[in-house]
Structure 1
Amino acid sequence: MTESLPGCDGIYFKGIICSFNGLICCVNDYSAFLHDIRICNPATREVLLLPLSRELEHPGEVGVAFGPGINEYKVFQFYGRMQHYGCEVYSAITGSWKSIGRVAHTPYSSFPSNHVCINGIVYWFTRSEEGIGSILVVNREEIFSTIRLPKEKIIRPYLINLEGCLCLVVDNGVEEYRFDIWALQDSKESLWTKKWSDYMPFCSIEDIIDHVAARKNEILIGTLSHFFLYNMGTRTWRKFNWEHDGEEVAICLPVAYTESLLPCK
């Protein structure tokens, strides 16, 4: 169902999980057993409400793979609990859901870092007994795989798309007030290289960071009350509050956004 988005100027989108080519995906949770998924274009004020999925029991994490067409996408939704997990996929081409069936890995739902889509491939963290286990990978052909994390001790990692490369923003773990960026070099061999390291003008990542996003050579770090924008070219930080209607509020997931006139379907 497609509907208009009245009063779109300055609207506060709750439940944003990703953005690509001017389209935003929002997930609104009504309960532990029900949520709806919408594809929105703030520039045209169009909103596409996806049909209810076939698997309504215990819906879980959602991720979107964009491409290869200019406004083609697939929405992956995981479901289930107690080690019995499955996945289904919605296609913008068919306008319907289909079941993929049982899956061996699911996203780490309680971890704040969201999924990342790069060149039609979606990445999430998975969970292990120690916390984060590996990175779950799903491509547009609906093929699942995993990538191991760097061999070095990784503290509180966040997935980002840094100029078309999958990267991890992590706490340095040795020096206080420093962060590292690890870049994936080979997904098949799970090879990573440390690409960047610099200071942070605030306390550790583990203490206060809620979400991390990137666009070109800038990294946006969101806490519960502020944004910190880091420019890799100048190695400088800029801090600013996030306000809505003149009042500070908790920050939703920050995403890179480029305005377009693409339809939602």
Structure 2
Amino acid sequence: MCSFPSVTVKQKVVDDETPFVPEEIIRNILKRLPVKSLIRFQCVCKPWKNLIKKPSFIADHLHHSTHQNPLLLFQQNERHPLHLSLLDCEMQVHEVKNPPIFDSSSWARIIGSCNGLLCVAINEVGTYPASILLWNPAVREFRRVPRTRTIDRFEWDCTVGFGFSPLINDYKIVRTYAESGDVISGVEVYSLSTGSWKEIELGNLENVNLYLQTVSANGAIFWNGIKQGVEGGVEYDTDLIVSFDIAMEVFTLIQMPNSFYKLSVYDDQLAVLSHTRIGDFPNYLYSFIDLWVLEESIGASAERWSWTKKFTCSPCPCEIYLGVIWRSDIACVAFGRPSETKSEIKNDEPKVGLYLFNITTNEFKKVAIPGGGHVCGVFNYVESLVTIGNNHIEEEP
């Protein structure tokens, strides 16, 4: 994928005969390698195997990969099997091999991506809510999360969030239940470290419901939300952002900068991508994207949180669906090929594709995807050695 920086190795000599490389040098080299190579190198010798399995090395490798080799993962088809691809920093597309196998009548949706782990909802015919799978594609491990309850999908609405807290070194899944698609009436949390669910108090979620969209940053999970209220006998709804502190297991309500937005992460801060369309539905002429960033820390009081608009993009002459911020680009799914004027769009050209808008150069370009341009989900991703599983996927010969 991405090229790795060169490392100068200084060789020492023991007893004037046996040369060896200090462990700190070996560690510095190995942390720069892709996961597939590290899995093979565990067979070189026992010291290397022990080193690669150390939690401290796994953390060092993750830190390096996150900053040097971030990847963009996109889903091309919600139907089984999980058809996933990765875009690397050299703009090369690679298919994710050997996804977990499940019933062909089911379909899958990625809930979130965090430190190389994917949280996947598997919708099975006749069973609701969806079952959940945690999967590390790089090490080919997955864990099926136990189901806690089965409910009537026509009488309940469920949302799921996934994230990691460095304070407690644990990954958690949060599932909320709302009766009849109304406000939330129950919350349960799954801990990867304990392998079990537990119910928690609603806290600030009274009269609140959540949308499916979710992101994770700085030890918290965030959703788009709506709070219902009554004033002067008149019912009203307030759009907001709901955060869940993974370590403390408490919810907080955050005012948002505007009503049309997509949650994302920018420079390790919660960000919002807002979308403004120019023209008449459904034939919009142009689209604008604004980037807002929450400047204060997650732990600050609600009164001190403030949103700052970082930039507004130049007009995008097509209809787009906002994705994520990847490196210095905003990844979008476009429903029409960008062109100078609307009349230049040809009927035989793809109407859906993955596009990158560079926030530094203002360039808007399409990503060449082998086998077609249909994309139904975009996520930040990084290869990692983080282990989760009680199942292992055998690699193809």
Q: What's the TM-score once normalised by structure 1's chain length?
A: 0.80
Shift of 1:93: 1.3
For residues 29-178 of structure 1, the aligned pairs below 5 Å read 29-30=123-124, 33-54=128-149, 56=151, 58=156, 60-68=158-166, 72-81=170-179, 82-102=182-202, 103-104=205-206, 105-109=208-212, 114-128=213-227, 133-140=239-246, 141-150=248-257, 154-172=258-276, 176-178=286-288
Matched AA of 1:116: V
Identical-residue share of aligned pairs (%): 28
Residue matched to 2:60: none
- 1:52 is paired with a residue whose SS is coil
2-structure distance, mates of 1:89, 1:97: 5
2-structure distance, mates of 1:14, 1:71: 27
Closer, same or farther: CA 177–59 of 1 in aligned 2, 3 Å: closer
1:106–1:136 CA contact under 8 A, matched in 2: no
Closer, same or farther: CA 55–75 of 1 in aligned 2, 3 Å: farther
Give per-residue Cα distances to partners, 1:159-192, cap 9 Å, x unaligned: 1101211111112468953221111123622411
Closer, same or farther: CA 192–69 of 1 in aligned 2, 3 Å: closer
The answer to whether structure 1 residue 215 and structure 2 residue 326 are counterparts is yes
| Unpaired stretches in structure 2, ≥5 consecutive residues | 1-81, 83-94, 101-106, 229-235, 280-285, 336-351, 390-397
1-structure distance, mates of 2:262, 2:387: 30
- 1:115 is paired with a residue whose SS is strand
Higher strand share: 1
Match of 2:307 among 182, 192, 203: 192
2-structure distance, mates of 1:168, 1:45: 33
Shift of 1:127: 2.2
Closer, same or farther: CA 71–84 of 1 in aligned 2, 3 Å: closer
Shift of 1:209: 3.2
Residue matched to 1:260: 384
Give per-residue Cα distances to partners, 1:41-63, cap 9 Å, x unaligned: 11121111000124745361100
- 1:15 is paired with a residue whose SS is strand
1-structure distance, mates of 2:238, 2:332: 20
Matched AA of 2:269: C
The answer to whether structure 1 residue 179 and structure 2 residue 273 are counterparts is no
Give per-residue Cα distances to partners, 1:125-177, cap 9 Å, x unaligned: 11257776100011111111111112xxx352111101211111112468953
Matched AA of 1:221: C
Match of 2:367 among 230, 233, 240: 240
2-structure distance, mates of 1:159, 1:47: 27
Closer, same or farther: CA 84–146 of 1 in aligned 2, 3 Å: closer
Q: What's the Cα RMSD here?
A: 3.0
2-structure distance, mates of 1:69, 1:9: 33
1-structure distance, mates of 2:142, 2:244: 26
1:14–1:252 CA contact under 8 A, matched in 2: no
Shift of 1:72: 2.3
Closer, same or farther: CA 211–170 of 1 in aligned 2, 3 Å: closer
- 1:199 is paired with a residue whose SS is coil
1-structure distance, mates of 2:162, 2:316: 33
Closer, same or farther: CA 254–8 of 1 in aligned 2, 3 Å: closer
1-structure distance, mates of 2:135, 2:108: 12
2:331–2:356 CA contact under 8 A, matched in 1: yes
Higher Rg of the two aligned structures = 2
Higher helix share: 2
Deviates more, 1:224-233 or 1:126-135: 126-135
Matched AA of 2:293: A
2-structure distance, mates of 1:15, 1:144: 25
Closer, same or farther: CA 214–32 of 1 in aligned 2, 3 Å: farther
2:129–2:150 CA contact under 8 A, matched in 1: no
Matched AA of 2:220: I
Closer, same or farther: CA 108–90 of 1 in aligned 2, 3 Å: same
Matched AA of 1:76: V
